[in-house]
Structure 1
Amino acid sequence: MKIPETISFAYIAAWPTEGLAPGLESFVGEPCLVSFSASSKWVNPVEFILSHSTTMMNTPEGPVFIFLKRQGTTFHFILADALDERLWSLFDEWKKHGKYLSYLGMGGKSNLHACESPDVSRFQEFRDRAGPQNLNQFKEAVWEILNEDLLEGLAAGILRSEVDAYDIYNISVEMNVLDLDMDGASQVL
């Protein structure tokens, strides 16, 4: 993967009081995972159901929590510091609802989806080690993931494991870094 000149960020913002589809009213004011895509490969994102999942990736520099949004062979990864205690507080907040809102903006279109709260119980060892964010360690972990093409490898592994025969050489991978310090309250969704 070519190292990007700039890293684009995802952030957490409270959903405003309007603009939610029926059945999502309970999310007003709740933390929403907000990210943006530059790819033109999303197929009609408003109507096409995106798949959402989570995983953890260990690097020599430390563990990275990964949110994944996907449509066919197009992958959008959001990387988060697995040792940042604020991430685990966010998971606790989402667990109260059993779901969380995930917003993906794509060139004037968007997809808002109520996702199942991540089952983070399998990552308890990382939660036990969590504390104040070590930004330098997390940056090094992100650079390791980029330099070693680990997201492309993860995407190819997902495609190989499926029954459908996808062209693993036609993968589109994007990445955002979750910035829990970014003031999402001032962002317009």
Structure 2
Amino acid sequence: MAAPRLEPMLDLEWSQAIELPRTAASAAGPVELRRAWVHRAPEDRVVALFRTAGGMHGPVPAPWWLRAVADGKLESRELGFRIEDRIAQLLGRRPGWEFVPWAADGESGYWEFMPSERGKSGHAIPTTVINTDRHPGWIDVLPAHSGSTPEPIAVAGLAGLRARLGEFEAVR
């Protein structure tokens, strides 16, 4: 007799762990998206389930901070939340920046600079600020563009973003 396959249940468990409430579509910042199990459950249990789910089929959808915590690159989920909140404090006060809550499954949303879309330059996709686990600055900027997606610009943390905002906002 063959052993039962448990992967579908693990997939379902992970899917439920990252599921956001229906009200997430109207979130004005990342703090309003932190209602899923991955945001509230004990961090060690979240990381353990993430590793187990990812070990079955390869990478699974997850917030940038969870990938970083699981890889030992970021100290804690709370630090990831602080990084997101500081970006929200900076961009939320500046004209033209809008938070987009409907990111990929499990992700924390992103920020778009709306004047860079369909302005004088005619770009179809606006300048976008996203959190990332690919480098220790935790912030990538996708320049406004039309056509294929350009390589993201790695930004050196919040100070780097603040220092380069004029450059990123100049594209209109």
Same fold (TM over 0.5): no
Q: Say which structure is richer in strand.
A: 1
Q: Say which structure is richer in helix.
A: 2
- Could you say which structure has the larger radius of gyration? 2
TM-score (normalizing by structure 1): 0.28
TM-score (normalizing by structure 2): 0.30
